[in-house]
Structure 1
Amino acid sequence: MEFIQEVIAHNLAHIRKKRGLSLDKVAELTGVSKAMLAQIEHGKSNPTVTTLWKIANGLQVSFSTFLKEADGPIIEKINIDQLKPIVDDDDGYFVYSVFPYHPEKKFEMYAVKLYPGYEHQSEKHLGEEHLLVQQGQLTLELQGEQMTFTDNDMIRFPANTRHRYMNTSNELVRFFVLLYYQD
């Protein structure tokens, strides 16, 4: 079992048991099958980004709650090449949890790689999304409108609306997403 699968498995089981929820109830809340939830909890399935978002939304927790390891040092140097990504179904959207959610800080941060020709439809979720394009040309569809962003462009928007990230170029797009959660 890969390390990231162990972390996700542990965190999902911990949340479910802490709340006294059965797998059936979690399936009902999230729209993810009981069989899939059991496989995730036992580390036998590596869930996609979409599946983790469904579980996070159903349980009303942040996405990175499932990626969080035990509390680490106050000063922490991170290199994306040392992180294990969560990959969407089509293998073109890679999400790296750089700074997982912490309740006192009220935010989480991701580095994202979106390969040429791929797109990712994000479900509505909690928080306010802050996006910074590091490299490439990203098309963002938000509330039916398409906007194009290039190196060093930024946008902030409420994440409780469906949005889609698209790479219509021939080059890799790298961007950062900071999700801020108000009280």
Structure 2
Amino acid sequence: MNEMPMKIGDNIRKIRKERGLSLDQVADRTGVSKAMIGQIERDDSNPTVATLWKIANGLKVSFSSLLEAPAADVAIIDYKDVEPVLEDGGKYVVIPIFPFEPTKKWESYRIVMKPGCDYRNDGHPRGVEEYLTVLKGTFSLKIGEASYSLSEGESIRFEADVAHEYLNPSSEDAECHMVIYYGELS
């Protein structure tokens, strides 16, 4: 068989097992026979689009979630291979490491601030938190009216729904790892 049905079968089996469903229960929910679901899971059958829609609707998942390759158990990212996003004339460099996924509610970045960089954010929606760990140099932060100074190895967490500002007051690059958690956005 080709690669696509194998992904479909793996995805259906994974959803079924995560939900603790038997083949009979999936058949009842989807209107697709137990035998057919078993064949799809074993890669013995190439399902039609209509059959996939029945399965997706019955399991209440997106159609594309049945088609996509299962996520790897391990992902290795080398930030040197990631396309950075530049702001402030290249003084503020954002390197996306793990992009946002709705099911995870967070994203991760490596931030490099050149000397004299002053990056401002008007604030995120309520419920968003930022977690920052300084990897190199020093960072000055203004969160609302309060000011903080962080050195290598120090971390900070804050509610990010207020205006905040990152500054590199030194004559050398400053680097940090940032996680933005989106929590329960209201």
Report if TM-score (shorter chain) is over 0.5: yes
Aligned: 1:75 with 2:74: yes
Which deviations, in whole Å up to 9, do the C-alpha atoms of 1:99-157 show, x marking residues without a partner?
11112211111110000111101121131111111110100011122211001111111
How many residue pairs match? The answer is 114
Between the two proteins, what is the percent identity of the paired residues? 29
Cα distance per residue 1:26-81 (max 9 Å; x no partner): xxxxxxxxxxxxxxxxxxxxxxxxxxxxxxxxxxxxxxxxxxxx985331111111
1:89 shift after superposition: 3.3
Asked whether the 8 Å contact 2:116–2:169 carries over to 1, the reply is yes
Q: Over residues 85-105 of structure 1, what are the superposed CA-to-partner deviations in whole Å (9 max), with x where a residue is unaligned?
A: 111132100001101111221
- 2:176 aligns to what? 175
Q: Which has the larger radius of gyration?
A: 2
Structure 1 ranges of 4+ moved more than 4 A: none
Partner of 2:136: 135
Corresponding letter in the other structure for 2:137? G
Q: Partners of 2:160 and 2:144 in 1: how far apart?
A: 11
Match of 1:109 in 2: 108
Task: State how far apart, in whole Å, the 2-side matches of 1:167 and 1:139 are.
Answer: 6
Q: In 2, Cα distance between the equivalents of 1:105 and 1:81?
A: 24
SS in 1 for 2:90: coil
RMSD: 1.6
